[in-house]
């Protein structure tokens, strides 16, 4: 099931920093196992370096 606010989610993620190398390919909510979470599948252009750079930006996010 794709969640209904994917455009807002993608904009929020992209506003965190330089994540221009990422493209969202799918989002799902979990209905078995660890529920109440979403899984997002991202495509990174640029190989593992791009993944490392994206992870670095996301890791420094201050969740309020």
Ranges of each domain in the chain:
21-64
Q: Looking at the predicted structure, is the pLDDT value of residue 64 above 60? A: no
Q: Are 38 and 30 in contact (CB under 8 A)?
A: yes
The 3 state secondary structure assigned to the chain is CCCCCHHHHHHHHHCCCCCCCEEEEEEEECCCCCCCCEEEEEEECCHHHHHHHHHHHHHCCCCC
pLDDT (average), residues 9-17: 69
Q: How confident is the model at residue 5 (pLDDT cuts 50, 70, 90)?
A: low
Residues in CB range of 14: below 8 A, 6 or more apart: 20, 22
């Amino acid at each position: 099931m794709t969640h209904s606010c994917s455009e807002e989610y993608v904009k929020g993620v992209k506003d965190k920093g330089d994540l221009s190398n990422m493209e969202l390919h799918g989002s799902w909510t979990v209905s078995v196992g660890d529920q109440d979470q979403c899984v997002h599948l991202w495509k990174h252009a640029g190989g593992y370096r791009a993944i490392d750079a994206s992870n670095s930006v996301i890791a420094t996010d201050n969740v309020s």
